[in-house]
Chain A
Amino acid sequence: MSTLEPNELTRLLSEAVDPIRPSADAYRQIQAGIDRRRRWRLPAFTLGGMVMAALIALAVVAIRPSPSNQLVEPAAPPVMPSNYTGPTQAGAGSGPSGSGSTHGGGQSSGGRGSGTGGGTSTPSSSPGTRPTSPATTSPTVSASPSSPSSSTGPGVNSPPLPSPAARPAGAGDIDGDGRSDDVSSDGATVKVTFSRDAVVARVTLPEISVPLASAVVDIDGDGFGELLVQTSDSGGTKSYALLHYIGLDTLVTVALPTGFTLSSGTHTNTASGFRCGDHDLEISVGTSTDGNAFSVTTTALTLSRDGLTVTGSPATGTVRLPSDTSPFVPGCGSLS
């Protein structure tokens, strides 16, 4: 088989296609194609742009999560006293200070109290709705009438906590600004003048020992001091109330679990006391048969916005008085 020469192949190919003659209107057809392309270019670009925009819009709609799929959990309502009306500005016209002293007798059903007189409200206490039992005493908190939030009930729209200056809070510092706050009493009402903004918060308790004995101690170490106030002293046993700073210029009385009291001292064959531990409060209850040897049960409680809750199991022990160190004292800060 002889190989085909390139020149011969070129000749054969040229001869094969030589009969082909272009059509007469070839140029006109090319021009028509060019015109057609020009004519359709703008609509095609416009249509393409619209399609792209529609695709982008569809992609955005598809990628963006639907609002109905977003789960929004309501914030847990803060612990508020049964009849809280809000703080007052120092020096501002103080309302009828005794208007909030009625406690537990309001007619409204807890949620939202209606403002009366100078803005104080007296919603009824609703201990059954709390996750923990209320305090052994049912204190009343009142504050100045000028606060706009006074019309709202407890647990709703409470002011937020400011940022603390240090953790734990410094000496005497309740509002977390690093400075000591002034604590005083007026009858059964504790008055705290916050150094942060000079606002005076008033908390009405069943009674308050005179002279006032109080201590500021940051039990939970959140940078805001808790206020311990001696409420009574009878028969060798002193009772206390613990006030918790839960929001800007807002103090509430801490509720204790059922069966616990915040007291110290010895009365015949029973005794009680408490001390502040590491981010908790330890309540000790002792019983004795001879008044000297006490069987002591110590329970640790943790402070939260809901109040004091029992953590862990109680510890038991024996204390012989007066030789052993007595656990039946108020061991949180120095009361003054």
Chain B
Amino acid sequence: MPARSDAARSDVARDADAALTALYSEHYRSLVRLAALLLDDIGLCEEVVQDAYIRVHAAWGRLQDRDKALAYLRQTVVNLARSMLRRRLVALKHAPKPMPDAASAEEGAYSLVERAAVIQALRELPRRQREAVVLRYYADMSEADAAAVMGCSVGSVKAYTSRGLSALSGKLEGLR
């Protein structure tokens, strides 16, 4: 019995490794961009997404429907982004921000993103509205999927999306 259990465990591990590789090659970039839209600090987006991949890999044996691995991954990214925002809020309250190191190549790209007007406008939205807008219009998720990821009702998603869209329209009017 223990031998069979060990074999089953190794099968799950191999399956998880293969799935992780496939998910990485297909969705890593889009998930990093999704995280960039959700986070205040774009430099942390890769960290969040990598942590999400590690967590989904660890929980691979417990996933009820492995075909929905991308949905789990997206939800983990959203949850981790929320946690990161909360931690950053606390850190900002209690610690001075350190001086930035020398800029890397990625940070150069990040600075481009930081300067985008839509990003600036997005960051001024409340967190829920920002999540609804990003999930609906960037991740191209249905209202039901967005509600599942956000952990709220479809009606709430509709309301958040509508309010977020109106707010962004006002902020971006001058650019159009």
Contacts and interface: CB of A to CB of B under 8 A. Distances in A.
Given A19-B112, A20-B33, 10 more contacts: A2-B176, A6-B136, A9-B118, A9-B168, A12-B172, A13-B37, A20-B113, A27-B21, A29-B50, A33-B54
Given A13-B37, A29-B50, A37-B54, A22 B138 contact: no
Contact of A30 (B24, B116, B134, B165): B24
A14 interface: yes
A17 B33 contact: yes
A26 interface: yes
A315 interface: no
Interface in B106-156: 106, 109-110, 112-113, 116, 118-119, 122, 133-134, 136-138, 140
B125 to A, nearest CB: 12
Interface of B: 20-21, 24, 28-29, 32-33, 36-37, 42, 45-46, 50-51, 53-54, 57-58, 106, 109-110, 112-113, 116, 118-119, 122, 133-134, 136-138, 140, 165-166, 168-170, 172-173, 176
Contacts of B173: 1-2
Interface residues of A, number: 27
A23 B106 contact: yes
Chain B: interface secondary structure?
Answer: helix
A324 interface: no
Contact of A19 (B113, B118, B166): B113
Given A8-B176, A30-B20, A30-B24, A20 B54 contact: no
A16 B172 CA distance: 13
Nearest to B118: A12
A26 B28 contact: yes
